[in-house]
Structure formats: structure tokens, C-alpha cells
């Protein structure tokens, strides 16, 4: 009898050990699942925080960019008023025209006094005064005529781009990066997400860059990001900016037509080294960037 009980106990022992092992395995599986869930939730939280941080930085960059643009517009307007606005006045300016009647009046009264003292002939003096007045009027007529002639001459170079007009492609190449000011895009060279106010069009070094439309060269500048840039005023607040250039063929103040050669593509700046040789093409309305694709011919 004791031997039978011993055999039964030996049979029950493996079952207990098996149950314990299964219990441990279940506990370990549950622990792994819980750890995985926690890790995944933590990962999602980290990703969400990173995206929020990127969006916040991008928004700050956009605000800084818009603030810089507003400052440029104010500076340009001030320069226009102090520079071109004053230089555009005729040589015989407002002050001189204002002084002419006074000086003419002084001359007339002097003639009247002198004539009255010498000859005492008021009729002749009146005739002389009238003649002097007519001469004064005649001397002003060429000035007004000169101003009219200048306005007419300027009208021949009138620039008047409008919302319904089209642009031609300044280079023939694939679009590497689209305009995007409503959401950030990834810049491979910088390895970060940013807003993109321009079209980045691929090309080869020394490819011709032509004007996308009629205008007047407003400025030629150089920046670390876009390299040498040519800004063309197209009228009605529209401007085209061509960056990453070399061997610029125009100068400030030049009138250009559509297809006028502005320069040639240069090696990319270090901000676009991964993207490769390209044309930075930005289009603005009243100082704010707009999508060039809305105006470029297909």
C-alpha cells in the first residue's frame, strides 16, 4: 500500500511543476505585452512631442520670414521716396516754380517803379508788364512740356503684370521642391522641416536662366542661402526673384522682356548641396510669396 501511494505522489509532482511552468509562462507573456504597450504609447508620445516642436519652430520661422519681408517693404518704400521719388522730379522743381511767380512779381513791380520814375507812361508799363507775364508763362510752358515728354517716354516701358497673365518657365528642369507656405516640407540638406516660399527647379551648371516675363531689374543681391539673386519688378506689386545665379547679364534698372537672359546657373550653395544645382524661383505679390505654379504656363 505505501508503494502505491508513493507512485501516485510521483505522478502528481510533474503535473504540479507543469502547472507552475505554464503559470510563469503566462505571467511572462502578460509582462511582455504590457511592456510593449507601454513602450508603444511612450513612442507615440515622443513622436507627437517632436512633431509639435517642429511645427512650433516652423511657425516661428514663418513669422520671422514675414516680419523680415515687411521690413524690406518698408525700407524699399522709404528708399523709393527718398531716392527715386526725389530724383524723378524735374530740375526746375516745385520750389523753383513756387518762387517764379514771386520773382516775376518782384521784377514786374520793379519794372513798373522804374518805368514810372523814368518815363511816367503807365500804358507802356502795363504793356511791358503784360509782355513780361507772357514771357514768364512762355518760359514755364517748355517745363510742362518736358514733364509730359518724360511721362510719355516712361509709358513705353510700362510694366503691368496682372492676375490673369502667365509666366514662362525660366529654366527647363524638373521641380525638386514645390512651393509650400501652408505646411512644412523636408529639406534634405538641412535635414529639417521648413516652409518653402519658392519653386526649386533642377538644372545643370551654366544652364541659361531667362526672364519669366516683362519687367525692370530692381536689384541684384547675394545671400548665403540663395547665392546671387536677381529681383525683377513686373508691376502692380508683382516681383520675380531668381536665385543661385552666376555670370549675371543684366544690371539694376535694365528693362527686360520675356526670355531675356538674366544669367546662368551656378553651383548650389551649401544650403542646397544635397538637392544639387537648381534655380531658386520665388514669385511675390505686395511683398508676400505666392505659388509660381499658378502663373507658369504648362
Instruction: Tell me the pLDDT tens digit for each residue of 88-98.
Output: 444 444 344 43
* Cα 198-284-265 angle, rounded to 5 deg: 45
pTM reported for the whole predicted model: 0.51
pLDDT at 55 over 90: no
Residue 47's pLDDT is what? 63
Q: Tens digits of per-residue pLDDT, 114-154?
A: 443 444 333 344 344 333 333 434 334 333 333 333 333 33
SS (H, E, C) the chain: CHHHHHHHHHHHHHHHHHHHHHHHHHHHHHHHHHHHHHHHHHHHHHHHHHHHHHHHHHHHHHHHHHHHHHHHHHHHHHHHHHHHHHHCCCCCCHHHHHHHHHHHHHHHHHHHHHHHHHCCCHHHHHHHHHHHHHHHHHHHHHHHHHHHHHHHHHHCCCCCCCCCCCECCCCCCCEEECCEEEEEEEECCCCEEEEECCEEEECCCCCEEECCCCEEEEEEEEECCCEEEEEEEEECCEEEEEEEEECCCCCCCCEECCCCEEEEECCCCHHHCCCCCEEEEEEEECCEEECHHHCECC
Amino acid at each position: 500500500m505505501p508503494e502505491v501511494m508513493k507512485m501516485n505522489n510521483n505522478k502528481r509532482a510533474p503535473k504540479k511543476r507543469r502547472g507552475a511552468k505554464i503559470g510563469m509562462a503566462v505571467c511572462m507573456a502578460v509582462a511582455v505585452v504590457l511592456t510593449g504597450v507601454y513602450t508603444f504609447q511612450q513612442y507615440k508620445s515622443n513622436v507627437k512631442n517632436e512633431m509639435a516642436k517642429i511645427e512650433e519652430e516652423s511657425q516661428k520661422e514663418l513669422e520671422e520670414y514675414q516680419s523680415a519681408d515687411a521690413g524690406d517693404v518698408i525700407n524699399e518704400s522709404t528708399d523709393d521716396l527718398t531716392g527715386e521719388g526725389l530724383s524723378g522730379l524735374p530740375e526746375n522743381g516745385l520750389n523753383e516754380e513756387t518762387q517764379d511767380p514771386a520773382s516775376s512779381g518782384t521784377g514786374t513791380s520793379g519794372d513798373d517803379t522804374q518805368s514810372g520814375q523814368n518815363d511816367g507812361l503807365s500804358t507802356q508799363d502795363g504793356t511791358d508788364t503784360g509782355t513780361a507775364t507772357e514771357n514768364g508763362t512762355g518760359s514755364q510752358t517748355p517745363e510742362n512740356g518736358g514733364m509730359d515728354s518724360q511721362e510719355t517716354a516712361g509709358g513705353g516701358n510700362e510694366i503691368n503684370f496682372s492676375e490673369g497673365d502667365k509666366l514662362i518657365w525660366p529654366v527647363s528642369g524638373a521641380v525638386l521642391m514645390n512651393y509650400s507656405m501652408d505646411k512644412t516640407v523636408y529639406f534634405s540638406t538641412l535635414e529639417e522641416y521648413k516652409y518653402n516660399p519658392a519653386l526649386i527647379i533642377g538644372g545643370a551648371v551654366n544652364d541659361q536662366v531667362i526672364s519669366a516675363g516683362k519687367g525692370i531689374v530692381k536689384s541684384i543681391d547675394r545671400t548665403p542661402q540663395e547665392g546671387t539673386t536677381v529681383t525683377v519688378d513686373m508691376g502692380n506689386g508683382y516681383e520675380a526673384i531668381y536665385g543661385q545665379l552666376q555670370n549675371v547679364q543684366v544690371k539694376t534698372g535694365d528693362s527686360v522682356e520675356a526670355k531675356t537672359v538674366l544669367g546662368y546657373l551656378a553651383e548650389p550653395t551649401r544650403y542646397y548641396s544635397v538637392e544639387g544645382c537648381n534655380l531658386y524661383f520665388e514669385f511675390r505679390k505686395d511683398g508676400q510669396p505666392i505659388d509660381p505654379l499658378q502663373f507658369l504656363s504648362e
